[in-house]
Structure 1
Amino acid sequence: MRGDAVRLGVDVGGTFTDLVALSEGRLVTAKVPSTPRDQSQGVMNAVGASGVEAPAVVALAHGMTVATNALLERRGARTALVTTEGFRDVLEIARQNRPSLYDLARDRPPTLVPRDLRFTVRERMGPEGEIEPLDEESLGEAVAAVRGAEVEAVAVCLLFAFAHPEHERRVGEVLREALPEIHVSLSSEVLPEFREYERFSTTAADAYLGPRLAAYLRNLAGKAKEAGVPAPLIMQSSGGVVPINDAISDAAGCVLSGPAGGVVGAAYVGALGGYGDLLSFDMGGTSTDVAAIIDGEAQTTTETVVAGVPIKLPMVDVHTVSAGGGSIAWADAGGALRVGPHSAGAEPGPAAYGKGGTEPTVTDANLYLGYLPDGAKLGGEVVLSRERSEEALRKLGEGVGLDASEVALGIVRVANAEMVRALRVISVERGLDPREFALLAFGGAGGMHACSLAEELGMETVLIPRAGGVLSALGLAISDLRRDYVRPYLTGLADAEAGEVERRFGEMEGAAAKDLDGPQFTRRADLRYGGQSFELTVEAGAFDGLEARFHDAHERRYGYRMDGERVELVNLRLVATVPVEKPALEEGPQERDAEAGRRGASFDEGGASLVEVPVLDREGMGRGSEVSGPAIVEFGEATCVVRPGWRGTVDGVGTLVLERGR
């Protein structure tokens, strides 16, 4: 691609690394296999495969799974904790909830900082300020202990540091001066909010992930410099990008970096087609991510738990399940088919890849059922083999008394059930009726399962974007620069002074103006009814209408409201963004016959009989092109299965709009 200004978005998935290049409204895509041992190599392979000339690149936005994987696999840095004397075990005590309520033998995942690496200092802050001064002798002892522990990172979490950070800053200053090679995270910088456990947990995660993320991102920046492209901008979990140094200093805010890009892309493409209320469904090679989009805006939460670690930072409200194209099918002790959580990933991949994988996956089932063509080439180098898939399915079937066809149908049904449950979590369990939403499906495998999921949920509309196979990368390429700020303000809403609220928002806006160039501001507030232990975040807007907006939001989320109950203000939040130019996607008229042949595929839930169905080439379709199910539409990087009873039309922005029973 040539052009004066090319924006790149590169998303690293478990199986493939996707790229989108945008220039003057044109869109170029590339897909290459991921490189799990060094994700940065896959990023640069994608840039090379795109054909983009390096001097034309003005921005490279990147979403990755480095932080997520480090948490899941517990492969972060060796981390210490420095805290107030007497509060060494806050991380261990946690909350009273358990991972499995009735399984007394099941324990929580291990803490990120073991007890022998938690050290204390004598000091005490209270709600009104200093109660006991910081003891410099104990601070020296803590620094010596951290040095002797040979750690790579240290988290500093003192009581009431969210309101009175003076002691914590002093501890951080001494640690950074004495141990300049160690990554130091201060809770007053990472999460200046009340609730000790969540603040400790989030700060520990930030320290735990910081060195690993820094090593990866600096390696990537070096490769980008060698290739002549700009240093990457990194997607945060909140749905905006930041420079590399900001991402390193806020490592805990990058744990959902990859999924966030897909939600941003889904919201953008849906809005272009006139659909503001969406359930996004991103099915990749390793997992499936789902999220709700309301009025064109991705929903965020501060209640995310990743690998058993609460991270109380603003994140796109994504629910993830281990049901992807590479999820491995197996039989449990009772002979029931199961899918996941283990994945074949990119290496060795599904049996169909012929790269050493021998266990059947969802991809193998889809290939055997005719949804994917035998001999298809994926990512430029992977060739699918139906024969290898059949062999893997047959071996699994021998153990449960089923033939290959029955196993394939069973795998798809089990995977669909898991994904339907995920969609219910972010819709029904959030007080949303999925029948009032459109299902926007993307990811390499999303289109193959979308119609089945919509039928289960009673949804009437499915959207398959033209760039659906690489929509996460598109979301990255169009993501705004974003920073999130928070100030605690715990008081009754009736007692809050409008002037004090304005002053605190003004402080955050001043900080944002220094961090970003000409940002736009969105004010929000965390509110709750008196006695509740959780909050809802609502748009702050006019202070006078804040209580009414909270009542409305509470009723939508939980199904009831208490208009006469005392409302408490907990936190003030500011979202600062610098918008980037976004392309207007346009679909031209159909210029040639789209039918690329016919193929046998199974749509029979009671058996596995193959039906000859038309196969349409999406490249041959244009604005107004129609399709009637059963049929298969092959996109450049994905496949859409149009089930019987569904009809579709390509709209003006290139989205295939499928509707049921019309």
Structure 2
Amino acid sequence: MKISIDTGGTFTDLVLENDNKKLSVFKVQTTPNDPSIGILNGIKEIAKTNNLSLIKFLEKTQNIIHGTTHGINAILTNKTAKTAFLCTEGHPDTLLFREGGRVEIFNFTVEYPDPYVPRSLTFEIKERINYDGTISCNIDEEHLYKTILKLKKLNIEAVAICFLWSTINPSHEIIAGEMLRKFLPDIPYSLSHNVNPTLREYRRASSTCINSSLKPIITKYLLNLTDKLKVNGFNGELSIVTSQGGIKNVETISEYPIHILNSGPSMAPVAGNFYLNKYKINEAIVTDLGGTTFDISLIKDNEIPRSRETWIGEKYRGHMTGFSSIDIKSIGAGGGSIAWIDNGGLLHVGPRSAGANPGPACYGLGGSNTTLTDAALINGILNDDYFLGGRIKLKKELSIKSIKSISSKLKMDENNSASSIIDVVTQNMSQEIKNLTIRQGINPNKSVIISGGGASGINIIDLARNLGCKKVLMPDLGPVLSASGGIIADFSDEYSITYPSKLSNLDISKVNTIIKSLSKNCQKFLKTNCKNYISFDVFYYIDAKFTDQVWEIEVPLKLSNNKVDPKKIKIEFQKKYLDLFGVTDNESDIEIIQWNARIYCKMTNSNLLIDYGNFNQKDVKYRDVFFKNIGFQKTKILKFEQLVYGKSFNGPAVLETPFTSVLVDKYSKIKLNKNNILEIEIKLKNESSINEDSTYYW
């Protein structure tokens, strides 16, 4: 048996795959102070459903896959380890200067952002390596030793080491690491050439510092979780979801915790792509509306786009991870997002969230702020007796009480105020999706939406209509989209070698040696990490640009008998460049900076088919639901597990499952296909379409 667990800000989602490849879904409330408690609560729920004790159940479990926000939360709440940064003498301001760039070019009132590691904990080391790997100045070991003694006095908890050109010659970083291990044996450290062997100095330094600062935190968290699972009978393998959309073992994540910054959200597009492959569609917008955030990702040509431009916090003012990660954008708009009125009388929703505790007002746990969940309950979209399949009884009277102050300020009744809250959330989501899609050359009019997250059904049809999307796909596992992605995720890793070279004078022998080295790393990963794999794939990429340009793009590398072909490199680069920018240059030379290999090990043949349990729901056939500009309508209530394959239902209706409720207006119709995917066909208004010739969006 296998369990995939996604710990969110409000709920912890669990998907069980039994020995017959059938899936069961569970949701429990997250325990923010110690997420492992929520995880064990969820596993107890699964064990109880299977008529087993916790110990007996875990003894039968072979694999647990875990997606977590523990790392990013530690950074956002300033609860990382006290970290020192060792750099090449003369370069202490790498983290401070960043790479330049401003969000508001002429706004000089914004305070300059602090570096990730303060200058007071930044130490210059006497050493210097040249761009070609030759040594200009040997590392001064005596000076390094004195620095280490200073770190000891300062009670440093982690150390990051990033020297110039260590990706070409890492010898000085290796010496520094050995001395730290000798004189500070209990202090974790990270070497930049191991963490992120990229040429760009700021990105390498930033990622190394982030990685070091997370090591003590994540190691402690994973040890705590592992110990609790073992005490309760688990002897299988615990794997952790990464930002790259794969999984790694606990040992690797403890050493490189930076890989889990976007751990949970990265699985939604993995699951989305799995479902999209069942259709003859190659582009989709994947949405995941949970309790705290709204996550957006894309699928383009049946591939999940990646980005190295991942910032923690605001762009240019935050801190860059420097890694190639799945391109996910998140905004503070979830089921628990709090509605509020500013001093000018404008309605806002989020980014502040009620979280798991106290949660929305309707939970009855002491929350008094109106949330998106409260608004949906007030307007009859949610069933107060069937939230989480009846496991949580919602208190509508508390939602109505909480919205009164907002209603009085808006000078509206409770239902129109609730409708306005849902509208604001929808507009925020719509704008963020347009920002992401249009920037990557995708017209949302021509895409489908794959809808995920427990709160997604509240406004998914309004959102699609706003974007001009005619079709929404909502899998039966949509409410736990990220957790279901963990079930089918591949074990994966990535290896890189920096070797700048122009295509016109490429040293073929040298490059083929690099490819051979990358291939060996992939084979080693396969043997040590992927026991009982079904199949594996290795893909090669280059980071390249036109000569004299500043930024590289990632281009697939097509090999001929495991050897590079310069002609194929040029063809693939021109093709990718044209696809991204609409123009290309057939005359300029191409410069390749980095050579990369990614390995994916397929571990399961799961079909992601849900095994419906028996949930106690009252036989509700109709309910009064409030629709904007119409008012209350007597609305048919449908159950997901009772839908007939291929039969269409016209709105208005509310489709209820134990984990989500989907509002269907009278202009839309729904149909369940044989893949257990709900197809929603939406009638559009003319103003929804985007004119691709307009410069407004570009």
Q: What is the TM-score with the length of structure 2 in the denominator? A: 0.90
| 2:292 maps to which of 278, 286, 292 | 286
Q: Does 1:227 align with 2:232?
A: yes
SS across alignment from 2:539: strand
Once the two structures are superposed, residues 465-501 of structure 1 have per-residue CA deviations (whole angstroms, 9 ceiling, x without a partner) of 0011112111112111111111112122222233332
- How far apart in 2 are the matches of 1:551 and 1:595? 60
Deviation at residue 108 of structure 1 after TM alignment: 4.7
User: Counterpart of 1:568?
Assistant: 591
User: Is 1:547 aligned to 2:570, yes or no?
Assistant: yes
CA 216–538 in structure 1, closer or farther in 2 if over 3 Å, else same: same
* Counterpart position of 1:35: 31
The amino acid of 2:312's aligned partner reads V
Structure 1, gaps ≥5 residues long: 1-5
C-alpha distance in structure 2 between counterparts of 1:317 and 1:342, whole Å? 23
Q: How far has the Cα of 1:269 moved from its partner?
A: 2.2
CA contact (8 A) 1:273 1:653 kept: no
Equivalent residue for 1:79, pick from 71, 77, 83? 83
| Equivalent position of 1:528 in the other structure | 545
Is 1:90 equivalent to 2:85 in the alignment?
no
Equivalent of 1:241 in 220, 240, 247 = 247
**In the alignment, residue 102 of structure 2 is paired with which amino acid?**
R
In the alignment, what sits opposite 2:368?
A: 358
**SS across alignment from 2:207:** helix
**Alpha-carbon shift at residue 301 of structure 1 (Å):** 1.5
1:255 is the counterpart of 2:277: no
Cα pair 1:522 1:574 within 8 Å, conserved = yes
Distance in 1 of aligned mates of 2:75 and 2:175 = 29
Residue in structure 1 matched with residue 348 of structure 2 by the alignment = 338
Deviation (angstroms), 1:374: 2.6
Q: 1:300 to 1:462 in 2, by over 3 A?
A: same
Q: Select the residue among 627, 637, 653 that pairs with 1:631.
A: 653
The 1:380–1:55 alpha-carbon spacing in structure 2 relative to 1, beyond 3 Å, is: farther
- Tell me the residue number matched to 1:647: 669
SS where residue 138 of structure 1 aligns?
A: helix
C-alpha distance in 2 between matches for 1:354 and 1:18: 21
Counterpart mapping for 1:576-615 below 5 A: 576-585=599-608, 596-604=620-628, 606=629, 609-615=631-637
Cα drift, residue 278 of structure 1: 1.3
Give the one of 192, 208, 211 matched to 2:216.
211
Work out whether 1:322 is the aligned partner of 2:344: no
Deviation at 1:386, TM superposition (A): 1.6
For 2:84, give the aligned amino acid.
Answer: A
* Paired position in structure 1 for 2:442: 432
**More deviation, 371-380/58-67:** 371-380
Point out the more displaced range, 144-153 or 266-275. Answer: 266-275
Q: Is the 8 A contact 1:326 1:345 kept in 2?
A: yes
Cα distance in structure 2, aligned partners of 1:632 and 1:133: 71
What is the distance in 1 between the residues matched to 2:177 and 2:75?
24
Q: Which amino acid aligns with 2:126?
A: R
Aligned twin of 1:104: 108
Q: Is the 8 A contact 2:165 2:199 kept in 1?
A: yes
Whichever residue aligns with residue 48 of structure 1, its letter is: K
Between the aligned partners of 1:588 and 1:396, the Cα distance in structure 2 is 42
Give the letter for the 1:47 counterpart: I
User: Structure 1 pair 227/275, CA: closer, same or farther in 2 (3 Å)?
Assistant: farther
- For the Cα contact (< 8 Å) 1:443–1:468, is it kept in 2? yes
The 5 A counterparts of 1:18-29 are 18-23=13-18, 24-29=20-25
Residue 129 of structure 2, aligned match among 112, 122, 125: 125
Matched to 1:21, the amino acid is: L
Is the 1:523–1:573 contact (alpha carbons within 8 Å) kept by the matching residues of 2?
yes
- Residue 586 of structure 1 and its aligned partner are, at CA, apart by 5.5
Out of 187, 202, 208, the residue aligned to residue 197 of structure 1 is 202
Q: Equivalences for 1:297-446 in 2 at 5 Å?
A: 297-307=303-313, 308-378=318-388, 381-446=391-456
Q: Supply the AA of the counterpart residue of 2:25.
A: T
**SS of structure 1 residue aligned to 2:4:** strand
Partners of 2:458 and 2:143 in 1: CA distance: 61
Which one of the candidate residues 9, 28, 33 is aligned to 1:14?
A: 9
The AA in structure 1 aligned to 2:327 is: D
* CA distance in 2 between partners of 1:509 and 1:191 (Å): 18
Deviation at 1:620, TM superposition (A): 1.1
Distance apart, 1:396 and its partner CA: 1.9
Deviations 1:205-254 (A, max 9, x none): 10111111111111111111122222420001001111101011111111
Deviations 1:322-350 (A, max 9, x none): 11111111111111001111110001101
**In 1, distance between residues paired with 2:634 and 2:470?**
25
Q: Which runs of 5+ in 2 are unaligned?
A: 51-56, 531-535, 560-564, 685-698
The CA deviation at 1:319 is 0.7
Once residues 515 and 365 of structure 2 are traced to their aligned partners in structure 1, the CA distance between those partners, rounded to angstroms, is 55
1:156 aligns with 2:161: yes
- Kept in 2: contact 1:372–1:639 (CA 8 A): yes
| Residues 441 and 580, structure 2, Cα contact 8 Å, conserved in 1 | yes
1:441 is aligned with what amino acid?
S
CA distance in 2, matches of 1:30, 1:346: 16
Deviation of the 1:156 alpha carbon: 0.3
Q: Secondary structure at the match of 2:510?
A: helix
Bigger mean CA deviation after superposition, 137-146 or 104-113: 104-113
Question: How far apart in 1 are the matches of 2:459 and 2:513?
Answer: 50
Q: Which residue of 1 aligns with 2:477?
A: 467
Query: What amino acid is aligned across from residue 66 of structure 1 in structure 2?
Result: H
SS in 2 for 1:61: strand
Report the alpha carbon displacement of residue 596 of structure 1 after superposing the two structures with TM: 4.1
Partner of 2:180: 175
- Residue by residue, what CA displacement relative to the aligned partner does 1:484-543 show, whole Å, maximum 9, x if unpaired? 111112122222233332221211221222233265311111121223222211211133
Give the SS at the match of 1:397.
Answer: helix
RMSD (Å) for aligned C-alpha atoms = 2.1
Of the structure 1 ranges 30-39 and 372-381, higher mean CA displacement relative to structure 2 is found in 372-381
**Identical positions, percent:** 30
The residue type paired with residue 168 of structure 1 is E
C-alpha distance in 2, partners of 1:603/1:220? 45
The alignment partner of 1:232 has SS state of: strand
Give the structure 1 partner of residue 142 of structure 2: 137
Separation in structure 2 between the aligned mates of residue 501 and residue 601 of structure 1, nearest angstrom: 65
Contact 2:24 2:610 in 1 (8 A): no
Inter-partner Cα distance in structure 1 for 2:75 and 2:110: 19
Per the TM alignment, residue 101 of structure 1 is displaced from its structure 2 partner at its CA by 3.3
Query: Greater CA deviation, 460-469 or 488-497?
Result: 488-497
For 1:387, what is the secondary structure of its paired residue? helix
**Aligned residue pair count:** 653
What is the aligned partner in structure 1 of residue 678 from structure 2? 656
Structure 2 CA distance for partners of 1:647 and 1:219, relative to 1, 3 Å: same
Residue range with higher mean Cα deviation, 145-154 or 222-231: 222-231
Structure 1 range deviating more: 264-273 or 15-24: 264-273
- The secondary structure found in structure 2 opposite 1:101 is coil
CA contact (8 A) 2:652 2:664 kept: yes
Q: Contact conserved, 1:267 with 1:276, CA < 8 A, in 2?
A: no
Contact 1:327 1:341 survives alignment (8 Å):
yes
| 3-state DSSP of counterpart to 1:383 | coil
> SS in structure 2 opposite 1:237?
coil
Q: 2:562 corresponds to which residue?
A: none
Instruction: Please report how far the alpha carbon of residue 99 of structure 1 lies from its aligned counterpart in structure 2 after TM superposition.
Output: 4.5
